[in-house]
Structure 1
Amino acid sequence: MSKVEIFDPALCCPTGVCGPNVNPELTRVATAIFLLEKRGYDIKRYNLGTEPGIFVENEEVNKILHEKGPDSLPVTLVEGKTAKIGAYPTNEEFAEWFGVKVEELAEKPKPRLTIDLKPSK
């Protein structure tokens, strides 16, 4: 099983739904990560704005930031090695790294609660 780490640029939220415009790429990535985490896969995501220490401590990411600057983010490491720079992994890449079907990474969450608004008789 792979270990995947994604080092994000400074974001106000990882889902892409904060602010005036929804970022569909961040929403896609957040959904895929949520579904992988839910299944117990080893995937972590770090935000430069809230966790800068991790970016400094990780030699691989630190080196990329010194050489290419913050525009190189996001950076994705698989098993500690650089797999992608400057773009988020595709669902196909996630599927390959974790041995799952691509379709499993686009599932819509099932509602936890249903409300019946029909008037009672």
Structure 2
Amino acid sequence: MPVIRVFEPALCCNTGVCGPNIDQELVDFTAAVNALRAQGIDVQRANLATEPAQFAEHPVVAQFLQTAGSEGLPLTLVDDVTVLTGRHPRRDELERYAGLTPAQDSQCCNPAAGQSTSDACCNPQPITLMTSTSCCSSNSAAEAPSAGCCGQASSTGCC
């Protein structure tokens, strides 16, 4: 199985919810990483502010920093091959890098009849609050799932 490593710029925290402004890209990336890790995928993150030695000790990363500087981060490697620079990978990209297909994604639900995958809860778009109109909730109160589809740690289909 491939090893995915993401070398990130200096961040105060890796969740994206520190300080007064929320970094939605980072929130989505963190959720995607957690979902893949829950499936046994090896996704590693290194923060330039807290783990500078990992950047200096990795030849591909050190060369990248000499060429592009820290402004070029994040840098995503799959088995030590550069696959993406300048932004965090989306969940669908991480799944592709890991060799997953949608059917292998145990946290992705199957869309209901007549519903497109972009409307299903497996949509790799930014995380949104679930409401009574979504395929994942019969509750009228909107609440964010804690993991996977509908907040379940593992889901084989839509809730």
Shared fold, TM over 0.5:
yes
> What amino acid sits opposite 2:52 in the alignment?
P
Equivalent residue number for residue 65 of structure 1: 65
Structure 1 residue 95 displacement after superposition: 1.7
Task: Indicate the SS of the match to 1:61.
Answer: helix
Number of residue pairs matched by the alignment: 112
Q: Which has the higher contact order (CA 8 A, sep 6+)?
A: 1
**TM-score under structure 1 normalisation?**
0.84
Structure 1 residue 100 displacement after superposition: 4.1
Structure number having the greater helix percentage: 1
Unaligned 5+ segments in structure 1 are 113-121
1:31–1:105 Cα contact (<8 Å) kept: no
1:56–1:62 Cα contact (<8 Å) kept: yes
Equivalent residue number for residue 93 of structure 2: 93
Q: Distance in 2 between matches of 1:39 and 1:111?
A: 13
Task: Indicate the SS of the match to 1:77.
Answer: strand
1:4 and 2:13 are equivalent in the alignment: no
Structure 1 residue 25 displacement after superposition: 0.1
Q: What are the Cα deviations for residues 5-63 of structure 1, in whole angstroms up to 9, with x where unaligned?
A: 00000001111000110010000000000111122111100000000000000100100
Q: Distance in 1 between matches of 2:101 and 2:19?
A: 32
Output the aligned Cα RMSD.
2.0
**TM-score under structure 2 normalisation?**
0.65
Bigger drift between 55-64 and 103-112 goes to 103-112
Structure number having the greater strand percentage: 1
